[in-house]
Structure formats: structure tokens, C-alpha cells
Copies of this chain bind each other. A is one copy, B any other.
């Protein structure tokens, strides 16, 4: 590896200035780390000195493993099959080529500055582990707009197929619900539930919450939209007629109404400026020569004192031995590699299935901004590819990237079997339904289906082999093998899960290293390695 502790600090310092060095020193345990709920690694720095660790896979799970283990003094090697770090954390931009396992190639040729995060695209403000890494590695963040009241909800079978603006659905729904509850309170239906005082407070509360008029009626509100906006001269606002409850009860509107309130999806959400892949590149920069690219793993074996990993180094067969191995690869790929995992682990991996999420990004002039006042956020459709996702980056630029569909290929019957061209036609249709006349402005569309991507063959884990105990099996050490990645967490599909699983694996290895140090030398794998 050849990077001394001080060189490491200097390199990080160079990348991000004094503050980055300071942050790195903090997380090495040299100073107390301050950051909401990112617990410092409980094991002591320097602990790993002289112990070899090999990490398989350079996605977020593998990168965080290598980063934390290196900080503890381990002699780390990370093997990555691709020529880039990040795994699914991948941003498509001019020059990116999306290659499918069947040989299909989709080169991206969008304008300079336009990009699409093909994998993870959001950092919730509650994913403090990832946010703290961004802080530590000085990755500049900006807002990812997940909530926007100007976005649309559309259903072919409701409102004659005409999209409803989210502010209207959202606020008319609350208004109608409040009106009905107010009526119940007035009729005495809650006299046993609420005290007389609370009933009075409830009536007052609903007047604001709805909002309702003094007689308890919901007559619409500026919150739900204006037919005429207030202006200069004698132009005063006219509130839109409220939607009736019958239509609001249509199932197709509910999901779109409340997605933004899910724990992982609540504002404020963020994204790195310029693309999510700024994160893996920042890790890779800090790790330097620890990361070996173009190094696909061909065999995963146990050795006398740890593990022996065979891989190709730019095509040439090589081997590496280490005391421990952290496996941070998708099960879909792992199951094809000859290995010495325990029968229980093999069962879980071999029996696992993957989800097949896709995104279909297009380049276009920003009609959603100029003609619809939509600045970021998501619109939902009841039929066809959905949601439509508007870019948060470079607001008001001439062009931008709009996603026409982000879901699983199997969530829509027959969709998976379509050709790329047919899939893109469906994507266009979704955008056309929301923005009539605008689909002709879409160009250079890409179908990015993770099921078809080499080294992934799936977007994230759908089910573990071995039944309900499958997950439990994977979170334990399998001899010298430890597993990491979002698959080995309860936050599947999020970078936070990958990072937490990596930190956990490093801690487990750290505890074992500590025990080994305390035990007689002969029993310690790394002193014998």
C-alpha cells in the first residue's frame, strides 16, 4: 500500500484543505467527532497495523470499508471489476456508455453540464452517516428537490385523464377531511372521545387546518391553487373551486400525495453538486492506490490463515492473500464466482433474487420550468412509466434532464419484455400525458435498467435465499469473510445502508483483531500471515 498515516492525512488535507484534515483526524479518533448520531468507530486507531484486509467491490459498501479500515491501520486492498469507483452510484453524462450484458450499448451524448444520477440520486438529511462523509471528504452538496407543489398527479381514469396539480390534491384533500371531521364533531359523534374543551379546540384547529369557514365548510384555499393570481391594479386573487371528495378518494392519487412524508423522502434532501458520483470519486481519491480497478474477482477461497482471492489485473491472473475479506458485491454477481463460503451463506446468496429498477432520462429544453413552473420534484402517473422526475440541478438552464419513469421493470405487466425503443416510447407517452405537446422536445433518451448492467444484473436485493433466516446469516462473519453493502443492512437501496454495514464489518473485524492481539500469537491469523 505504501501510504503512511501521515501521507494519508496530507493527501486528504490537499484535497480539502485544513478542514478536511481536521475532519479526518476527528474520525481517526484523534479528536472527538461531532455529528448527529454518527458514532465514532468504537475500535482504536492503529489496531489494524500489520493485518491484511482485502475488500471485494468498490461500491459505497466497499469504499467505506476500505476507508475506515485504512484509518484503523489495516493493510487494505480493494478489488473493483470496473474502471471506476462507485458501483451503482454512477452518474451518466457526455461520454458515459451504458453497456448491457447482451452487448447493447447506449452512449450518452447530452450537452455539457447535463447529467443523470443513474443509481442513487438523493441524500436525506437524516442519513447522517453519508452526510458526514460528504462533510469529511468536502463533497459540495445542494438541495435535491423532492417536494414541489407544482408537480402533477395523473390517472387516465380520473378527471378525464387531465393531470391534477399536487397543491390542489394535497390541500383539497386535507380541506375535505377537515370538513367531514368538523361535521362529526358538530353532530356529537366524538362526544365520548373528546372532552368538551378539546372539542372546542378541535373545531378551532380544523378552521385553520382545513382551512374551514366559520360554519365548518371547506370552500377551497389559496393553498390549493388560484384561478386568478393576485396582481397589480384591481387584480385580486380568486381561489380555485375545490375538488370533490369522491375524486380525491381515487386510489391512484394517494401514493403521490404522501410519498414526500416517508422518513427517507422528507425535505430537506440533498445531492452532490455535479453528480452523485462525486462521493465515490472523493473516497477513491482519499484511498489512492488502495483501489485496484479492472480487477474482477475470479475465485474466493479460504486459506490457512485467512483468505486467498484470485482476480484478473487488467486481464492478467493474480492472487492476493489476507487475514480477512469484506465482500461488498451484489449477490447476483457473487453467485457466479467459485467460493468457499459456508453452505448456509451459499444458500442465501444462490437463492437470492434481485429487483429490476430502471430510469429513463431524456434531454430537453426545460419546458417543465418555463411552461409549468415546475422546478424539481416528481409527478406521478397511475398508468405507464412513473414517476416523472424533474432535475434539481442547474435550475433555469436552457436544457436539462427529465426522467420519464423510475420504477421496477416488473411493476408494469409486459414492460420488461419490450425493446429499449418500445420502453422509451412508453416513457415519452408518460411525459406527454403530463405535458401535452412537449414530448416532441425530448431527445437522446436512455433506458437504464440495472438488471441488464454488467457487474450488477439487478438494482438491489429483492429476496434472500434460505428463507427468513437469510439476512441473519449474512450479517455474521463466515470465518474470515464479512459481508457489506446495502444488502447487508435494513436500508436496502440506500447508500446509508451500505455505509453503515461497512462500518459494522470494520468494527467486527476490529474486535476480532483486538482479541487476536490479546490471545497467544499463534492463534492470531494476522501475525501468522
The answer on a CB contact under 8 Å between B229 and A135 is no
- Main secondary structure on chain A at its contact with chain B? mixed
A436 to chain B, nearest CB (A): 14
Q: Is A370 an interface residue (CB 8 A)?
A: yes
Closest to A35 in B: B370
Return chain B residues, CB-CB under 8 Å to A145.
Answer: 143, 267-268
Contact for A395 among B142, B395, B490, CB less than 8 A:
B142
Closest to A128 in B: B373
- C-alpha spacing A108/B254, complex, angstroms: 49
Task: Offer 13 A-B interface pairs, CB within 8 angstroms, sorted by A.
Answer: A36-B372, A125-B150, A134-B396, A143-B392, A143-B395, A148-B268, A180-B194, A222-B262, A231-B491, A232-B489, A234-B472, A268-B374, A270-B375
Residues of A within 8 A of B (CB): 19, 34-37, 125-126, 128, 131, 134-135, 140-143, 145, 147-150, 167, 170-171, 173-174, 177-178, 180-181, 183-184, 187, 189-190, 193-194, 198, 201-202, 204-205, 208-209, 222-223, 225-226, 229-237, 245-246, 248-249, 251, 254-255, 257-258, 261-263, 266-268, 270, 370-377, 392, 395-396, 398, 472, 475, 488-491, 497, 500-504
Query: Assembly of this chain: how many copies?
Result: 2
- C-alpha spacing A141/B245, complex, angstroms: 38
The answer on a CB contact under 8 Å between B140 and A209 is no
- C-alpha spacing A115/B489, complex, angstroms: 41
Contact for A254 among B208, B234, B503, CB less than 8 A:
B208
- C-alpha spacing A501/B232, complex, angstroms: 5
A16 to chain B, nearest CB (A): 11
Closest to A508 in B: B233
The answer on a CB contact under 8 Å between B171 and A177 is no
Return chain B residues, CB-CB under 8 Å to A233.
Answer: 475, 489, 501, 504
